[in-house]
Chains A and B, each alone.
Chain A
Amino acid sequence: DAGVIQSPRHEVTEMGQEVTLRCKPISGHDYLFWYRQTMMRGLELLIYFNNNVPIDDSGMPEDRFSAKMPNASFSTLKIQPSEPRDSAVYFCASSPQRKGTGVYSPLHFGNGTRLTVT
């Protein structure tokens, strides 16, 4: 399996521009998570989906951020307009549906997109 695939690996953009980050989860996984990592705040959960439906977006910092999952094999995180404080590494992770108590399904993370907003 190729694992969770994120693109692009690096993105440099100017303040005010729209940025779209992409994620392809592992085939068959029902859950998809978007995290953001900065030196100051560490790893933060932004939003997660179950079967393509957003379940909890309480971590999304502001209305400038939006995430979609149009199908089971693709998700996007969009920032519009971008600001310098959005500079961070954005990770996507996926996991399968657990089958019950005692059955463990770890999260599988991609290698992230490093976003720099100048």
Chain B
Amino acid sequence: DAKTTQPNSMESNEEEPVHLPCNHSTISGTDYIHWYRQLPSQGPEYVIHGLTSNVNNRMASLAIAEDRKSSTLILHRATLRDAAVYYCILTKDSGAGSYQLTFGKGTKLSVIP
């Protein structure tokens, strides 16, 4: 799978938007972009995913660059509960089965009250 690059850590003030970047310059046409996060003392949880178009769900938005070489996870109003490690992961879409997720170091997000 293609490699992703994320900043080690970021800080945000509570109730402000947060933009978490991810670079994936070697992405291929069939690679999905997944975002998971891991809250303290918990297992990772799914946040959002996308292929080419921007995506929105209850938790976040995913903005994908036109050339797909980078993406940004957007939390519209950070809360203290959003303090976590955020992982950007690429996997190929085989059309069936499941996804083997290879986790990198991720970005540790701190939210300041």
- Listed in ascending order, the chain A residues whose CB lies under 8 Å from chain B are 4, 30-31, 33, 35, 42-45, 48, 50, 56, 91, 93, 95-101, 104-112
> How many chain B residues have a CB neighbour from A under 8 Å?
23
Which of A56, A100, A106, A111 has most B Cβ within 10 Å? A106
Instruction: Contact check, B100 vs A42: say whether CB atoms are below 8 A apart.
Output: no
Quote the shortest CB–CB distance from A4 to chain B (angstroms).
8
Instruction: Contact check, A97 vs B98: say whether CB atoms are below 8 A apart.
Output: yes
Chain A's closest residue to B39 (CB) is: A111
Does any Cβ of A come within 8 Å of B11's Cβ? no
A101-B95 contact, Cβ under 8 Å, with A43-B44, A107-B46, A111-B41: yes
Residues of A within 8 A of B93 (CB): 101
Which residues between 5 and 39 of chain B lie within 8 Å of chain A, taking CB atoms? 32, 34, 36
Chain B's closest residue to A93 (CB) is: B43
Which of A30, A35, A107 has most B Cβ within 10 Å? A107
Instruction: Contact check, A91 vs B43: say whether CB atoms are below 8 A apart.
Output: yes
Residues of A within 8 A of B36 (CB): 107
Residues of B within 8 A of A93 (CB): 43-44
Chain A's closest residue to B102 (CB) is: A45
